[in-house]
Amino acid sequence: MPGIIRRDVIDEILSRADIAEIIGSYTQVKRAGGRLKALCPFHQEKTPSFTINEDLKVYYCFGCHKGGNIFNFVMEKENMDFPEAVHYLADRCGIPIRYEESRGGGQNQQNSAADISRENAPKIGKDRLFKLNDLISQWFHRNLLESRVREVSEYVAARKIPEDIISAFRLGAAPDSFDAAIKFCRGMSYSDEEIFCAGISAKSEQSSSFYDRFRKRLIFPVWDEQGRVVGFSARTIEAKFEGGKYINSPETPIFKKSRLLYGMNLARKEMEDKKLAILCEGQFDVISFHRAGYQMAVAPLGTAFSEEQAKLLRRYTSKIYLALDSDGAGMKAALRNMEILLPLDFQVLLIGFPQGEDPDSLLAKHGPEALSDAFSEALDFFDFFFDLFSSKEDIGTPWGKDAVGRKMVQLIARIKSPIVRADYCSELAARLKVSDDAIFSELKKERMIGSRTSGNSQDNSGKEISDAKKAEDDSDSRERAQEALLEIALAHGTAAKLLGEILPPEMISPSPLGKALEKTVSMSLNGEWEFAPKALLESLTENPSASLGRILSESSNIPSDRVENAARECVVKIKDFCLRKESEGISRNLKNAGLPEDEKKRLLARFMEINKELKIIFSEISRIRNEDGN
């Protein structure tokens, strides 16, 4: 079975992949002043701030600060892990994937059911699972098209689902059999372990034997963004059925319900083109909107909408329509969704349906026009919930105004933009006929509560938070100094050797930037400085760092005659940070009443040494700045 991808395959991809061409398939790349620039594909902007370094094959955005190499780009944009990105790019470059040879002995293809668990799944290559899911989905689909499962075919016909929709969603039928799917997969050279780990089979607790997970059900294949079948959702066709109406594939290495949305593979392009998404409750609702011409509809897989799913949608659009049932459960789901969507800067509208109706039933009874009308009459979340809350309270009374105002402010407080919050607050004050100050006062209290809940509140004295902020600022200052040093070292090989002489290794932070700086200095001292950029690219492959991506994506603007002084100034800043941290630690230890006398003397002596060293540092900074004319 596949194992670890060989390092030479990754190197070959880095060498052969055209980063400009691959990024250019997501956004228009233009050459400006000798550099390649583009509108960032990760966030909305009007002026290009996304840069590409063709030589080093890295990118960096000065707007959202995302950066890395071609692997990082594909992982971020296509929601892939590293091995998936390698496979994706290898396929584009025509490079065969090769694996490290297994050091273990051969493994029997067919294990006993008792010995097999889904914990074995990591041993199975994801490419095998993708292929297995694709093959079984086609088998389910043929079962439906050829009416091999009569009851399911009749159910689909009764719902009047047209052939183009059946084909687009690859709907299928699982036969009323305990091993038909297992036998098909075995016939395609898959082991019982692979079939079980893909979630196609289940295991009996009593006999430890395998059986088909999906039986006598309508099958909905679930694709990821890249158009790969990763699992299944299956609906019973029985009018009366004990158990769940829908069952899904279990969690597998490629099927994570909280990260998937049904219909996303068909909807993503339409979302980008139309600049909006429709979030439904279930599969048939998604299919109904697609039948009505709204191909940007998606739905969770029988679980509550998650923040991960919201962030997935946010990559394609900032405007979302909620198409949820109008009953109590639907409204509760809508409010839960608002808690996720508003902090992510979504513009949210809600599509209303008559009581007892949903997109699927509305389409069946009244045709596509009814869905189109419902969509066009969607209300901004503010209008929708104001009407909903006001229908349950008498806003002609002070108490009714207070109840509705509090509920609305709870929603408004979740909005990230202060301008949008202020606009909604003013509108709420006008509708309730109260002063703006009353609403803004309530908003301030609500946001303070939210801040405390999320652990961001200040303590009574404010000292701890002030100290923490100062420590964070100092740490940021050291990171900026290391960033500047790395930029200098990569642009000027002599500077890297100088750093080896004047910068103590123990003062370099363990952050990705610090490790990159340490590697560059080490390679320079070993006579390998010219290979440092490639080594840093390799570290970017599996440990993304936006700052490192930026440094590698552009050239240093420090003139040669100022390199040494610039490097020395950064070094003294790092020394200043480290010595101050040591001094603070000594001060804390000296307050310990039980400290032995000889230890106190040693600490006091070191404390005095540090103060002398800090004075030297101040003098050094002044000297350097005077030399540079600053």
User: For the segment 584-602, what is each residue's pLDDT rounded down to a tens digit?
Assistant: 888 888 777 677 888 888 8
* Residue 463: predicted pLDDT: 40
Q: Look up the CATH number of domain 264-377.
A: 3.40.1360.10
Select 467-627's CATH number: 1.20.58.340, 3.60.10.10, 1.10.287.110, 1.10.860.10: 1.10.860.10
Residues facing residue 231 across a β-bridge: 222
Please give the residue that has the higher pLDDT: either 390 or 207: 390
User: Within 10 Å of residue 175's Cβ, how many Cβ atoms?
Assistant: 20
The dihedral of CA 34, 36, 39, 43: what is its sign? negative
pLDDT surpasses 80 at 42: yes
**Percentage above 70 pLDDT, the chain:** 81
Most confident of 13-27, 50-64, 269-283: 269-283
pLDDT band at residue 400, thresholds of 50, 70 and 90? Answer: very high
* Cα→Cα distances 59→20, 25, 73, 75, 577, Å: 9, 15, 8, 13, 31
Distance CA 578, CA 582 (A): 6
What is the domain partition of the chain in residue ranges? 7-93, 113-255, 264-377, 387-453, 467-627
What pLDDT shows up at residue 550?
Answer: 67
Q: Which of 560, 557, 572, 561 is nearest to 622 (CA)?
A: 572
Q: Is the pLDDT of residue 260 over 50?
A: yes
Check whether 204 has a pLDDT greater than 90: no
**Residue 320 predicted with pLDDT over 70:** yes
Model confidence band, residue 52 (pLDDT cutoffs 50, 70, 90): confident
Chain centroid to Cα 81, Å, comes to 11
pLDDT exceeds 50 at position 453: no
Mean pLDDT to the nearest integer, 256-278 = 92
For residue 558, pLDDT over 80 is answered with: no
Give the pLDDT confidence score for residue 84 in this predicted structure: 80
438: helix, coil or strand?
A: helix
The CATH homologous superfamily of the domain defined by 113-255: DNA primase, catalytic core, N-terminal domain (3.90.980.10)
7-93: CATH topology: DNA Primase; Chain A (3.90.580)
Q: Is the pLDDT of residue 344 over 60?
A: yes
Which is more confidently placed, 492 or 487? 487
Mean pLDDT over 296-320 rounds to 91
Place of tokens 């699972």: 129
Q: Given a cut of 50, is residue 465 above it in pLDDT?
A: no
pTM of the predicted protein model: 0.60
At residue 573, the pLDDT reads: 84
C-alpha–C-alpha distance, residues 94 and 104, integer Å:
30
Average pLDDT over residues 492-505: 76
**Predicted pLDDT at 263:** 95
pLDDT of residue 1: 42
Q: Place 157 in a pLDDT band, splitting at 50, 70 and 90.
A: very high
> pLDDT confidence of 216, banded at 50, 70, 90?
very high
pLDDT of residue 431: 95
Determine which of 339-348, 419-428, 504-513, 552-561 has the lowest per-residue pLDDT on average: 552-561
CA distances from 150 to 2, 169, 176 (A): 39, 20, 10
Predicted confidence at residue 382, as pLDDT, reads: 97
The residue-averaged pLDDT of 609-621 equals: 76
CA distance readout (Å), 152 to 20, 184, 189 = 48, 19, 28
pLDDT averaged over every residue in the chain: 82
Residue 355, pLDDT above cutoff 50: yes
Q: Which amino acid is at 178?
A: F
- Residue 134 CA to residue 509 CA, distance in Å, equals 47
pLDDT given for residue 522 in this prediction: 77
Q: How far apart are CA 134 and CA 262, in angstroms?
A: 16
pLDDT given at position 457: 39
Determine the 3-state secondary structure of 35 from DSSP: strand
Please say if the pLDDT value at position 441 is more than 60: yes
- Mean pLDDT to the nearest integer, 556-580: 79
Residues 6+ apart with CB under 8 A from 403: 389, 393
% of the chain at pLDDT higher than 90: 39
Name the residue with higher pLDDT: 546 or 30: 30
pLDDT confidence bin for 470, thresholds 50/70/90: very low
